[in-house]
Every structure is written in structure tokens, then in C-alpha cells.
Chains A and B, each alone.
Chain A
Amino acid sequence: MRTKIEASNVHLHYGDFHALKGINMQIPERTVTALIGPSGCGKSSYLRLFNRMNDLIDGVRIDGKVLIDNTDIYSIPQSEVDRLRRKVGMVFQKPNPFPKTIFENVAYGLRVNGLKDKKVIGEQVEKALRQAALWEEVKDKLKKSAFELSGGQQQRLCIARAMAIEPSILLMDEPASALDPISTGKIEELIYELKSNFTIIIVTHNMQQASRVSDYTGFFLLGELIEFDETKKIFRNPEKQQTENYITGRFG
């Protein structure tokens, strides 16, 4: 399998605080990678590297190399960052649809990226909503506010919104942590489906979830990547004692 994402010796500082300490990781195309570890160990900071969302935070310093499709995304000009974000979609921890209609939420990314043709936009919105397994539930109320949807539906809408512009990578930061078990199940099924088209990185607190949806798992602790391997391996016989302690719930 082709390597889609590669981090080599990545360090991240928030001012003086050393949040990521020399991370190395290679993620193959069209796979799901789960990032696990106790709160504050740097999972979100790591995830935000890949669409350069850390750039929005004052005082961040990033060293090392992050390659996506063999391009160092930290050496591209600022003007290319928008294009990078088009390629690398993101779903946030808390569902954050815009206060617009359901349709406009999904159409937003298309319009932002210059699409004007109404028919194409309509088709693309439907396609994304179908991919997010939301179409049947919302097809009769596309003009309604996104805020009328349940939390789980809102999160799937956010997934549809991210997918509408056809990124090749999808970053998800604990996408189900604010949801009930049924909605969580739906999101997990969805992730499984999406794998054939996207390279997915998902941060999760939930060990079962990591083992259910992912092919690879990375375990973070205090800003270090302790272990990165196939999910089966991590959950059956991890190399490191710390990993085993964490997944068996002995700390964190």
C-alpha cells in the first residue's frame, strides 16, 4: 500500500510547552488509523498538524517534516494552505454545523471552492449526504435549519459537509464523544464504509471503538508516540508495557 501521510521527527511547542516530542509515523492510503492515549497527551495537537489548523493558534512552533502525498505541507506557500485543507477534511469533537440550512451547510465548502453551477452543487450535496448515511433522514427538510437535527444527525451532517468537497483524507477528533450509543454506532459504521475512499485518522477515547474501526493504532503518552502498529497487534500483544497498561485500563 502507498504511504499517504508521513510524519518524521515532528515536534510541536505551544510557547515553551513541548506538546509533541519527535513523532514518527507512516500511514498507508485508504486505511483507518486510531489515535489513543490519556487526555492532554497531544492527540488533538497531532491531528491538527495535517490540515495546519495549529497555524491558527498563537505561539505555536512546529519542527520536523509532515508529508502528505510526498509533499512537505509545512514548506508550501501560505496561499496553498487553503488548498491543502480542501484535500484534508476535518470533523470536530463537538458537532458544529453552521447556523444555516441543512443544504447550505453541505453546499458551503463547494461554494467556497468556486463551484457555482446549481445543478452540480445539488448533486454533490445529495451525494455527500448519502455517503454520510443522512440523506433519507433529511431529504424532505433540506431547507430547515441544521440546528433542528439531533446531535448525532448534526455530526453526520458535519461529516457530509467535510466529504462534499471530496478530500482524500478525513481527520476526526473524537467525533462520537458527545453522542449517544446509537448515534455512535452509526458513525462507526460510516467510518468503516468510508475507508474505501478516504484515508482516515480518528482520535478516540474509547478502546472498543479503536479496535472496532481501525486498521492501525497509535498510542500517545505525554507528547510521545509510544507505539504505532496494526490495531490487532496493539490490542493483542503490544510491545510496550505502557501500551498494555493503558488498554487494559490500568491507568489514564
Chain B
Amino acid sequence: MISFPKQVDREKRLHQAIAFWIARIISYSILLILFLILFFILKRGIGVINWEFLTAMPIDGMTKGGILPAIVGTLYLVLMSMIIAFPVGVLSGIYVNEYAKEGAIKQFVKMMTNNLAGVPSIVFGLFGMALFVNRLGFGASILAGSLTLALLALPLIIRTTEESLKAVDDTFRHASYALGASKLRTIRKVVLPIAFPNIITGLILGIGRVSGETAPILFTVAAYFLPKLPQSLFDQAMALPYHLYVISTSGTNIQASRPIAYGTAVILILIVLGMNLLANFVRSHYSRKVKMK
């Protein structure tokens, strides 16, 4: 019998403990930074938030009044862009993972999806302007803006759908085929329900990405200031991130609108958080339906 030196065990344990602590410290510092940002913004912005701020139009060169049109605009944009991007993205993900044959074309599609995810959002903005606003003649409108934002979110949703489907164990598919189920049936009734909670993650990521973007809406929908709420998909709209940008860089009186800027930031964060919560709720609803445990 060989006898292993005792201190090897001790060293191993020590290394492990050190690595573990480094990882822990890093992740806690990230959390800390996040909380600091939130705290900073809340502290400065919370003071201006009241009923009027939420429900009134901006007045006096946006140094006073509320931000209602920006809230409404952002809600419209997020909702519309997700209504467009979610089904399209999920269907594409299904196609790529379940139907497309392994090979050059599939690899190419996947590569392009990845590349698309890395394209700067201002490029999406320019593209959206060229295609939706000008070529298709939608003008600067909620429709053009939502389509542009949908394009931005699409790669994320396709990718998460693909990954979620890939994670579904093949034995489930085989069991279904062996019972005489068609491919479509198998995907609809077995694969998708299992993958769906994870696919919702794509939706959450998409919402997060879309609601905070300024560049893609700059030329496609966002208005500097509108005296009334949008009436149709073909109207321009104000939006929180752009409003924030405007009042903190080019307002008539930047100093006077500082508190409003922070208040706007708080609302934007709350909306994103709220939508994430909602999506999480949907997610857990669907994972409860999947009887994994």
C-alpha cells in the first residue's frame, strides 16, 4: 500500500477555500455595486415621484410636471416589440434546433444570429430608420420603433429558445415518437412544455434589453416632446430612456430638470423590474405545470 503525504489533503483544502472566497468576494462586490447604483438613483429620484409625476404631461420646457407620455410610450414599445419578437424568435429557435438539418446552412444561421446579437444598437436604429421609417413608409412611429426593437431582441430570444430546446433530454422525444406521435405533436406537447420556463428567460432578457435602449428608437419613434399621448401605432411617442437623455443633456434648463431626470430613471428601473417580476411569475407558473419533481 502506498501512503499519500498528509499535507496534500490540507493543501487541497486550502486551495479550494481560497478559490471559493475569491469567487464569493467578487460576486458580493458586484451585488454591492448594483445596490449602490440603485440606492444612489432612488435617493435622488424618489423625492419627485408622486401621483402628478406619473400622470401629468411635462410642462415648462420639461423642468416641471410629469412624465406620463414617456411612461406610456415605453410601455407601448416594450409590449409591441415583444408581441412581435417573442413568437418570431421562438418559432425560429424551434426551426433551428428541431427542424434544420445539421450542416453548413444551420451553422451559418447560428453564426449570423450570434453576430446579430453583437451588433451595436445604433446600427439597428439606422437600419430601422432606413427600412421601416423610410422604405416601408411607416414614418417615425410606434410601429417602426417596435419593429426595430424587436430586431434587437430577436437574437436573444432565438438563442435562449435554442438552448432551452437543446436542454430537453432526447429520451422524452424518443418516448413520444415510440407512441406514434408526429414530430409536430412531440414538439408541441412534450418538448415545448419542458423548455418553456427557460424560454421565458429569453423574454425577460429581451424586455430588459428593449426597455432601456435609446439608440434604436432615436430615429424610428422617439419624440423630443409631445403634448399628447400617442393615438395609434403610426404616431410618434416619447420614451423613458430618450426622455432621460433629453432632459439631462439638452433640455432648456438642465439644472432645473435634474430631479426629474432621476425620477425618470427610478420609474424606468421600476418598470423593468416590474416586467421581470411578471415574466418570472409566468415562468414559475409554467415550470409548476412541468412536473419535473
Contacts and interface: CB of A to CB of B under 8 A. Distances in A.
Contact of B180 (A92, A99, A165): A165
A96 B177 contact: no
Contacts of B292: 99, 145, 147
A57 B91 CA distance: 24
Contacts of A109: 179-181
Contacts of A53: 174, 177-178
A201 interface: no
Contact of B182 (A82, A97, A146): A82
Interface stretch (A83-91, A211-219, A232-240): A83-91
A96 B180 contact: no
Given A94-B171, A145-B292, A147-B291, A99 B178 contact: no
B171 A112 contact: no
Range for the number of chain B residues in contact with chain A: 20 to 34
Interface string A174-207: 0000000000000000000000000000000000
Contact of A98 (B175, B177, B293): B175
Interface string A144-178: 11111000000000100110010000000000000
B291 A145 contact: yes
B36 interface: no
A165 B291 contact: no
A108 B190 CA distance: 10
A83 B290 CA distance: 28
A147 B180 contact: no
A112 B181 contact: yes
Interface string B179-220: 111100100011001100000000000000000000000000
Given A98-B176, A98-B190, A165-B180, 14 more contacts: A56-B177, A82-B180, A82-B182, A85-B180, A92-B178, A94-B171, A96-B169, A96-B171, A99-B291, A100-B291, A108-B190, A113-B180, A144-B291, A145-B292
